[in-house]
Amino acid sequence: MNVLVSGATGLVGSALLPALTERGHVARRLSRGGGDEHDLSWRPERGEIDEARLGGFDAVVHLAGESIAKGRWTEDKKARIRDSRRVGTRLLCDALARSKPLPKVLVSASAVGFYGNRGDAWLDEESALGAGFLAEVCREWEAATRPAIEAGIRVVHARFGFILSRHGGGLAQMLPPFRAGVGGKIGSGEQYVSWIAIEDLVGAILHALASESLRGPVNFVGPAPVTNRDFVKSLGRVLKRPTFVPMPTFAARIAFGEMADELLLSSQRVAPRRLLASGYQFQCPDLDGTFSHVLEKAS
C-alpha cells in the first residue's frame, strides 16, 4: 500500500514507518516541512495542507498532536492539546474527503482517556464517554474525522493506552527514579493502567489497515490491564529494585497540577475487545515479559 503518516517523527510514528517499509509498503510523511521531496507538507494551525498531492494514497495513519505528558497544563498548553487534535484532524479529513481517489482507510489516533476516571469497571468500545478534559478532547478528536467517514473512507479511532517503549513516552520518564530505587506507587495505587507494548501498537495499526471489519472506536491496549501498584511492582521486579517510595496524591497534584488527576491518578480498566474479535494476536501480552523485553533492548 501507499501509506501517508502524520506525526511520523513521534514515538509511534518512528516505530511505524520502518515497520511499513519492511513489509513492502511505501510510506510517506505528512510533515511541517524540512523533509525530502516525497513528503507532503502541512501547517494545521494556518489551515495549510498539500491537498494537491493527497490523492492516490491507499491508507492514512494520523498520529500528530501536542504531547500531553510534557509540561504543566496551563490554559495555553490545554488549548494546544485540544486544537492540535481537533483542528489538525478536521483539516486533514476535509482534504481527504476531496481527494481523488479516496484512501480506503484512515487510522486516526485517540486515547483511552475517552473513558475518563472509571475505577475498576471493565470498559470496552461500547462504554460511554467519561468526564474530564481528556475525555472531552478525545470526543472532539474523534468527531473531527466526520468528513472522512461521510466521504466513504473506513475510519478507525485507535484509542491508545499507556505505551511501553524504550525510546520514550511515560516509561522513559519513570526509569531514572526506579533505577535509583526511589520509585513507587502513585496515590492509592489502585487506579488501573491499560498498557500496550510499542510492538503491539504498531502491529495493531498494521492489522487495522488490513482488516476491513474494523471501523469506529478500537481499543489499542493489551489484554491484561493492571493497577498502578502492580505496574510499579512489576517494573521493580524486572529492574531488581525496591518500589517503596510512593508519591502521595497531594504530592502528585502539587508537582503536576491538573495533569496528575487526568493522567496519573485516573483509572481506566480497558479491554481490547474489537482487536481480539478481529483476530489480532498480541506479541507482548504479559507485563513482566514486556518490561524484560523493553529493558533488555534499552541496556
d(CA 120, CA 9): 35
d(CA 28, CA 34): 13
Q: Which domains does the chain have, with CATH numbers?
A: 2-298 (3.40.50.720)
d(CA 15, CA 22): 11
Beta bridge partners of 227: 192
d(CA 195, CA 289): 13
Cβ atoms of 236 and 185 closer than 8 Å: no
Cβ atoms of 80 and 34 closer than 8 Å: no
d(CA 123, CA 277): 15
pTM of the model: 0.95
* Interacting residues of 239 by C-beta distance below 8 A, sequence separation 6+: 178, 179, 295
Closest CA to 135 of 184, 50, 68: 68
Residue 288 Ramachandran class (φ > 0 left, ψ -120 to 50 alpha, else beta): alpha
d(CA 184, CA 202): 29
d(CA 139, CA 143): 6
d(CA 49, CA 163): 29
Q: Which three cell numbers stand for residue 222?
A: 493489551
Identity of the residue numbered 50: D
d(CA 267, CA 191): 4
Q: pLDDT (tens digit, 0 to 9) for every residue of the chain, 299 residues total?
A: 999 999 999 999 999 999 999 999 999 999 987 556 779 999 999 999 999 999 999 999 999 999 998 888 999 999 999 999 999 999 999 999 999 999 999 999 999 999 999 999 999 999 999 999 999 999 999 999 999 999 999 999 999 999 999 888 889 889 999 999 999 999 999 999 999 999 999 999 999 999 999 999 999 999 999 999 999 999 999 999 999 999 999 999 998 899 999 999 999 999 999 999 999 999 999 999 999 998 885 44
Beta bridge partners of 193: 226
Q: Omega before 103 cis (within 30°)?
A: no
- pLDDT score at 34: 52
* Interacting residues of 221 by C-beta distance below 8 A, sequence separation 6+: 112, 159, 160, 161, 194, 195, 196, 270, 271, 272
